[in-house]
Structure 1
């Protein structure tokens, strides 16, 4: 007996130590160093970026006594339990519920080209509602959490859910617009979704788009930057049905067809940026969570920068590149512009004007003219960088002229001036809007030559020079006068007060008269309608270069660009109108060559230089200098300087 007592005596301390060790192991904490590349993943990774719940979401479930894996298997029951937990802040609960329903919706994403089912839309609506509740109906307002990673994550859940709901309802054919800008409610299970279009207008005033594309799904090549504004809402691109806004495209995806006499000479591009919000009805957290009433609001991010939600002003998200890039990518301009220059079938025969955004009477106009054999694609990065600059975006709107580059310069100049004046007359008949004055003209290459003539006055000098020494009888002189004097006697476009000429052969180029230039010139065909209208009188005045070959001696645009061409020589020294400030951007391909003897491969410096220019920027580049970052920065500098020189406006 004594031996057992001794043994037990030894065991008692051991048993006590085991109990202590067991108690200690329940609260044991271990630590290990975190690698630098793990930091961002742990503090910012979430269901959208990694496919797994974020660290914040996992912690919220654990402190609520919920097992994450079981929650994901029975989400509805888990969500009900988490909503009922009292010891966890509403912020943590709403954020975690938004993330969990986002993960649930992701598991029901349809295959490409298929429409989302009701289960997926229900999950997206739940995710958006919890995110909305977190942002606007919990203890703190969004501004108080401005630097918190969790708020950025929850905003992303809301924005992505709004994108999926908006695009999904459109795919299902359930976003039919009404004339008053509203649409009847759509039932998605227990949800009632109503569309309110009163703050959004599609190009041309069309009631319903024929495509609605999430901007985040688009990847572009050929663009220097993608310009966005971070904020609240889903970034989408709306496309209107081809041909319904005066667009000369046949399908919106293939080559453009020739514009008929009935087609309007100007139109908005058929793609528009749209930012979509889902507004959940309710006045407090409880009523928002209980509500199944949702209003879908699309906004124009160019016109709306902030929205008011539950008394809070929040920035509206926006994508200012996607719509423009999608239009150019599907335009077919590259092929058609070459056909137009050569005068082949399916080219254009008259200028057309594209408005990059909805007309705004309070924004100045930047009017862009491309060069020979080119199209609006020549301005892809210039226009994108202007629209991407917040101040310039607020103060300017872009108009781009697309014109047939085979037609003689004098005819293009007259038709473009008439087109711009016609468009301004349509939008502002009384000419009182800011957009009807203080216009900035930017022209590249031959577009720069036409642009300078648009801000110059010819007086009677050109007309007198062209008829001098020609022995014409009275009838023929009268016919020539009626046809040609409007082309040779012109006044400047009065709306323009600033111009930028880029690599423009103001005095022509010897290359146009070289063997290669003459060869290309012989390939060019002029429009039959133009020949019928001007052929006889132009032949009288153009000499007999083509008469021996049995062809009318009508100069085309390449002929006009020769440094020996009578028209280019006669117009080279026309003065720019008083009051118009002008700038030049000139390219030279070899900086080792003295500036006066340099050229850009096509245009010599002495032809592009203009005395009296307010500034001259010389850039080492090939002829397409307008696409270089240096040229774009110079254009932006000039536009900013123009704004800085304005008198303060109320």
Structure 2
């Protein structure tokens, strides 16, 4: 009986002990296999890309016994950390952690002073005082610290509504005192423009471009607006409205580690437009600036009316407002720089060059030699008229920008035209004599019964001389012998009813139509539209195709051909190869793509090659 009782007791004790034994057998530390991307995110994530603290910063909190305190009272924990730094009780590892913790708290509390604290700590880590050792270039905290600094100054110096970064001198609050920031307001004046409205690019998501170019470095990357200083409206109009310039803000904090010991710190704010420099010297080191030209370009186009002009610029009054014929520089013109002028095609706009401009302007070898201009026009107007407007615009721009003729860059202009824009481009580089006029009229121009104003308009449009400052032209998908789509009668008939006559041509049109007997061919009761001009049967395009490029101008062709069939019998959906191909060009590249080939990498790289060759660069 006693043995049975003991046995039952042992069984009961064993049952009670099983949970304890099971718990003791479960390992408190271990590792399991997971997707490597999960581990990578855990090791590289930080407050900037996940909203959570990085592994390295959590380690620092643990080593300093501040993990729980930071969770309970972040400001007290950060104050303790700073006091330990000042007392010399910490190593260099604490600075990137303090930067991230300050930024984390700023995000949670909305207190701007902690963004600036993040920038201060990050600067100390990146650019240590005196002869202190530099961070290991492979240390991932180096990039994190740079990004925390960049975002810290952008948010710490933000406007009250947080929409822009304020570029000004002032005194700002720090968690432990104040920061006096000096700024030379003359830095806001650049290339004859005042820079305004500095939007942090880190807050911009880019769409519509295949390539987003970022040059990692130090400083807050910004998209800045521009206001012309001159009162000359013609000069002001040369700069594209609402276009943004890429710039970088840098806040220098000399002897930052030493200054941290006091309650008042000093810093100097600098501003660097992208075209001015890509690097700065900090503590004797050459350091790249953070730059994001793609986002600045996209932000400017987002705010621009350029997209609205595409169909308005073709149909005109059907949309109640026509496109303004306009030549603009996408950046302030710089002395010695060669203008590259982009001319869009039918029912298009300057915005369609965005991908090409984005890639080209990011190349220092291109940017150091060229400025980018764009010409917008009513693409439904007669081609000879639009080409006249282009020639006048280029001539006026050169005269306004270089009245004394001393700028060598303006004497080497490159014009790039897509589709109909290629025909306008050709008419900057040909000597037509009377051929275009003779194709339209059978009476001499002096015998037309029109006003002198209309006679001068006809003479300027149809008696063409090459512009002396245009030295190179590039044709992209250009219908030199017309477009097979424009040959279709129902297409032309429909568009003829919709396309309106530009206001400047209304009077001249009425006068010319009163001279029907002077027309070389029966023209009905209206002047031809651009679509008429691009019909392969049209006398204008047939005559223009037979006029060679002037011997003083180098020409290049980029031709799109769809599919894998023979090039010679191919087309791009709008223009046949046999129409786009012309003899006598310096180079011809065929790209297997559709008509809008100007955004494709092969076309962009070919334009880049031509531009580099033009200045003798490799």
Question: The TM-score by the shorter chain falls in which range?
Answer: 0.7 to 0.9
Q: For 1:615-634, list aligned pairs within 5 A.
A: 615-634=587-606
Aligned counterparts of 2:33 and 2:145: Cα–Cα separation in 1:
25
Structure 1 contact 499–581 (Cα < 8 Å) conserved? yes
Instruction: Go from structure 1 to structure 2 and tell me whether the alpha carbon gap of 1:309 and 1:474 turns closer, same or farther (over 3 Å shift).
Output: closer
1:60 and 2:60 correspond: yes
The structure 2 residue matched to 1:328, chosen from 277, 293, 301, is 301
| Match in the other structure for 1:361 | 335
Whether the 8 Å contact between 1:583 and 1:614 is mirrored in structure 2 is yes
Match of 2:581 among 609, 632, 638: 609
User: Match for 2:141 among 141, 150, 175?
Assistant: 150
Q: CA deviation at 1:584?
A: 0.8
Instruction: Provide closer, same or farther for how the CA distance between residues 482 and 150 of structure 1 changes in structure 2, counting only shifts above 3 A.
Output: closer
Counterparts of residues 185-204 of structure 1 (less than 5 Å): 185-188=170-173, 190-201=178-189
Flag the 1:77–1:509 CA change in 2: closer, same or farther, 3 A.
closer
1:396 paired with 2:381, answer no
Q: Secondary structure at the match of 2:286?
A: strand
- Aligned mates of 1:245, 1:507 — CA distance in 2: 45
Q: Does structure 2 conserve the Cα–Cα contact (< 8 Å) formed by 1:204 and 1:267?
A: no
Assess if the C-alpha contact under 8 Å between 1:301 and 1:318 holds in 2: yes
* Corresponding residue number in structure 2 for 1:70: 69
Question: Aligned partners of 1:521 and 1:569: how far apart in 2?
Answer: 20
Match of 2:347, SS state, is coil
Verify the 8 A CA contact 1:499 1:583 in the aligned structure 2: yes
The yes-or-no answer on 1:205 pairing with 2:193 is: yes
Q: Per the alignment, in what secondary structure is the counterpart of residue 341 of structure 1?
A: helix
- Residue in structure 2 matched with residue 559 of structure 1 by the alignment: 532
Residue 480 of structure 2 corresponds to which residue in structure 1?
Answer: 506
> CA contact under 8 A between 1:167 and 1:213: conserved in structure 2?
no
In structure 2, the partner of 1:596 is: 568
Q: Is this contact kept in 1: 2:591–2:602, CA < 8 A? A: yes
> Partners in 2 of 1:32 and 1:186 — Cα distance?
51
> Secondary structure at the residue paired with 1:606?
helix
CA contact (8 A) 2:126 2:134 kept: no
Equivalent residue for 1:582, pick from 543, 555, 578: 555
Q: In structure 2, what is the Cα distance between the partners aligned to 1:142 and 1:225?
A: 37
Structure 2 Cα separation of the partners of residues 66 and 568 of structure 1: 82
Whether 1:638 aligns to 2:610 is yes
1:104-503 equivalences in 2 (<5 Å):
104-109=105-110, 120-138=111-129, 145-168=136-159, 171=162, 175=166, 183-188=168-173, 190-201=178-189, 205-206=193-194, 208-209=196-197, 212-239=198-225, 265-270=237-242, 271-280=244-253, 282-283=254-255, 285-287=257-259, 290=262, 291-344=264-317, 345-348=319-322, 350-463=324-437, 466-469=440-443, 473=447, 476=450, 481-503=455-477
Are residues 418 and 374 of structure 1, via their aligned partners in 2, closer, same or farther at CA, if it must alter by over 3 Å? Answer: same
Structure 1 pair 645–139 and aligned structure 2 pair: CA distance change class (3 A): closer
On the 8 A contact 1:336/1:346 being kept in 2, the answer is: no
Determine the C-alpha separation between the residues in 1 that align with 2:187 and 2:205.
28
Give secondary structure in 1 for the equivalent of 2:247: strand
- Write the distance in 2 (CA, Å) between the matches of 1:174 and 1:392: 30
1:117 aligns to what? none
Q: Is the 8 A contact 2:86 2:261 kept in 1?
A: no
TM-score by length of 1: 0.80
Q: Tell me which residue corresponds to 2:505.
A: 530
> Residue deviations 1:315-358, cap 9 Å, x none?
11111111211222232433332122112155445421222222
Mapped to 2, the partners of 1:640 and 1:172 lie a distance apart of 39
Tell me the CA shift for residue 643 of structure 1.
3.5
Counterparts of 1:524 and 1:452, CA distance in 2:
24
Secondary structure of 2:485's aligned partner: helix
Q: CA RMSD in A?
A: 3.2
Matched position secondary structure for 2:399: helix
Match of 2:83 in 1: 81
Take 1:491 and 1:472, find their aligned partners in 2: how far apart are those partners?
19
Measure how far apart 1:575 and its partner are: 1.5
Distance verdict in 2 for CA 1:538–1:235, change over 3 Å: farther
Could you tell me how far 1:162 is from its partner in structure 2?
1.6
**Worse-superposed segment, 624-633 or 52-61:** 52-61
The alpha carbon displacement at 1:475 in A equals: 6.2
2:173 and 2:179 in contact (8 A); partners too? yes
CA change 1:528–1:142 in 2 (3 A) is farther
CA distance in 1, matches of 2:491, 2:277: 52
Cα deviations across residues 152-208 of structure 1 (Å, max 9, x unaligned)?
111111011122124345749994x7xxxxx45254473333443433447972464
Deviation string, structure 1 residues 467-506 (Cα, Å, up to 9, x no partner): 5456974865977643322222222122222221011111
User: Secondary structure at 1:520's aligned position in 2?
Assistant: helix
Equivalent position to 1:570, from 515, 526, 543: 543
Distance verdict in 2 for CA 1:433–1:30, change over 3 Å: same
Q: Distance in 2 between matches of 1:278 and 1:571?
A: 58
* Total equivalences in the alignment: 577
Distance 1:169 1:446, change over 3 A: same
Deviation at 1:42, TM superposition (A): 4.7
Measured at CA, do residues 474 and 597 of structure 1 come closer, stay the same or move farther in structure 2, by a change above 3 Å?
closer
**Normalised by the size of structure 2, how large is the TM-score?**
0.84
Equivalent residues of 2:194, 2:226 under 8 A apart:
yes
Q: What is the rounded CA distance, in whole Å, between the counterparts of 2:476 and 2:617 in structure 1?
A: 23
Which residue does 1:116 correspond to in 2?
Answer: none
Q: Give the whole-Å Cα distance in 1 for the aligned partners of 2:411 and 2:222.
A: 33
Structure 1 distance, partners of 2:173, 2:558, is: 57
The aligned counterpart of 2:48 is: 48
In structure 2, C-alpha distance between the alignment counterparts of 1:538 and 1:269, rounded to whole Å: 38
Q: 1:203 to 1:406 in 2, by over 3 A?
A: farther
Cα distance in 2, alignment partners of residues 173 and 475 from structure 1: 60
